[in-house]
Every structure is written in structure tokens, then in C-alpha cells.
């Protein structure tokens, strides 16, 4: 398998633990060569609330629990970063969690932040774009934007974890959700729970 190059965006919806587990799984996956990680400005607030992580300095090290080997952090304001161009070789992008604001920007092609631009590029280059939306309940604007994004080629992959695997805690729940996300883009994880009806 060719070395995989992915973009991961963290936006300010609830569920920062899911992104942490995604970044950890990608760092541990030998098939993955490079991860471009873009946290939105507002996601820093949610990181503080949910994971008690402060500031953007050493953020990756704090999320991974070790120095990153293949993951690089990019600023959402840096619209000149390499992932903003279709010429940059990428195998796809995952927005986890995806706020309704980020969904709106992506679905309507605003391309005014690095996250929105990289998603726009991913769609125009016909590469996989997974929007792991998180909100409840949805209003009609959310529903319309999800349809718009899906029609443009994105996969709406809501943060809805499974319970039939009986996760022992929220980390395990997040990890198994992330394994589903990775399986969807062709990075099947050996530790992913597989339902077997006869057991
Ligand atoms: C603790 C917290 C939890 C939030 N949870 C959600 C959520 O689950 N979904 C959502 O769409 N917005 C949520 N928001 C609101 C977004 O953070 C807000 O709309 C923000 O402008 C999104 O910014 P971003 O898309 O640039 O990251 C939450 C905000 C806070 C502070």
C-alpha cells in the first residue's frame, strides 16, 4: 500500500476525545506517512473544557502523550499552507468533530479558513472528505448543509458511537468510533470490533 497522507481538522463541537484518539491511531499506523492537523481557533476552547488542555503550544504532544513523529500542526489562519492547494498530494481529509459552523462553511464553499479551504480542495479533487458532524437536535439549516455537502461528495459520518461492543469507558468508545472512520477510508484497524451475530 502506498504511504498515506491525511488531513485531520478539529473544530469546536463537543467530542475532542474522538480527535485525540484519531490522531493517536494515525501516529501508530505504519501505513500513514504524514498527518496535517488543523485545530480551529474555537476548538482550543473545547479542548480546555473537555480535555483540560490549555493553549496551542505543544498541543500535539499533549494530545498524543508523546512527541509527534508524523503529525504536523497547522494554523487555521494559514491559508497558504500546502494542504490549501490541490497540487499537494493528499489521500483525504477527516473533520472530527465537525461543528455546524464548519459544516456550513464547507457546504457553502466559503474556503475562508485553512480547514474550509482544505475541505474545498478535497472535494474538487474528488478525494475522500469525512465530516464527523456533532450536534443535537439538528435544525433545517444543519440538515440542508449536510445534504449540500453530501451532494458535493462529502461523507456525513456523524459522531454516533456504537454500544453493542460494550465499551468500558469514553476513550474506548471514541477509539472504536475512530476505527470505523479509518475503516471507511481504507485503513482497517486490526483492533476494530467486528459484530458477530452468532456469539
Ligand atoms: C463546550 C462547547 C461545546 C460545543 N459543542 C458544539 C457541538 O457539539 N456542535 C456544534 O456544532 N457546536 C458546538 N459548540 C459551538 C461551536 O463551538 C461554535 O459554533 C463555534 O463557533 C464553532 O467554531 P469552529 O467551527 O470554527 O470550530 C460548542 C461550544 C462549546 C464552547
Taking every pair of Cα atoms in the chain, the longest distance, rounded to a whole number of angstroms, is 53
Ligand 1 mean position, distance from CA 196 (Å): 36
Among left, alpha and beta (phi > 0; psi -120 to 50; other), residue 47 is: alpha
pTM exceeds 0.95 = yes
Ligand 1 atom with the shortest distance to the CA of 11: 27
Neighbours of 2 (CB within 10 A): 8
Task: Determine the average pLDDT of the residues in 18-36.
Answer: 98
Q: Which three cell numbers stand for residue 104?
A: 456550513
Average pLDDT, the chain: 97
Ligand 1 mean position, distance from CA 191 (Å): 31
pLDDT value for 199: 60
Confidence of residue 198 (pLDDT cuts 50, 70, 90): confident
Cβ(51) – ligand 1 distance below 6 Å: no
- State percent of the chain over pLDDT 90: 95
**Cross-sheet strand order for the sheet of 93-98:** 71-73, 32-39, 4-10, 93-98, 129-133, 155-156
Ligand 1 atom with the shortest distance to the CA of 102: 25
Each residue's pLDDT tens digit, 31-71: 999 999 999 999 999 999 999 998 888 999 999 999 999 99
Cβ(101) – ligand 1 distance below 6 Å: yes
Q: Which three cell numbers stand for residue 184?
A: 471507511
Name the helix (H) or strand (E) containing 22: helix 16-28
Listed as own residue / partner, the contacts of 174-181 with beta carbons closer than 8 Å and 24 or more positions apart are 174/15, 174/17, 174/18, 174/20, 174/21, 175/21, 175/25, 177/18, 177/21, 178/18, 178/21, 178/22, 178/25, 178/96, 179/25, 181/22, 181/94, 181/96, 181/130, 181/132, 181/157
Amino acid at each position: 500500500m502506498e504511504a498515506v497522507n491525511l488531513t485531520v481538522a478539529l473544530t469546536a463541537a463537543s467530542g475532542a476525545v474522538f480527535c485525540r484518539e484519531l490522531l493517536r491511531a494515525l501516529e501508530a499506523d505504519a501505513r500513514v506517512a504524514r498527518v496535517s492537523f488543523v485545530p480551529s481557533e474555537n476548538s482550543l476552547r473545547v479542548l480546555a473544557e473537555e480535555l483540560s488542555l490549555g493553549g496551542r503550544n505543544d498541543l500535539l504532544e499533549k494530545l498524543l502523550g508523546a512527541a509527534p513523529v508524523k503529525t504536523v500542526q497547522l494554523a487555521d489562519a494559514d491559508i497558504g499552507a500546502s494542504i490549501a492547494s490541490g497540487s499537494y498530494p493528499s489521500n483525504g481529509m477527516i473533520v472530527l468533530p465537525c461543528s455546524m459552523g464548519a459544516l456550513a462553511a464547507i457546504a457553502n464553499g466559503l474556503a475562508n479558513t485553512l480547514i474550509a479551504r482544505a475541505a474545498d480542495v478535497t472535494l474538487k479533487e474528488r478525494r475522500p472528505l469525512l465530516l464527523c458532524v456533532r450536534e443535537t437536535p439538528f435544525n433545517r439549516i444543519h440538515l440542508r448543509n449536510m445534504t449540500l455537502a453530501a451532494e458535493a461528495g462529502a461523507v456525513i459520518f456523524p459522531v454516533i458511537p456504537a454500544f453493542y461492543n460494550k465499551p468500558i469507558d469514553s476513550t474506548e468508545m471514541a477509539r472504536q468510533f475512530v476505527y470505523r472512520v479509518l475503516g471507511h477510508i481504507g485503513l482497517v484497524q486490526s483492533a476494530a470490533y467486528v459484530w458477530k451475530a452468532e456469539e
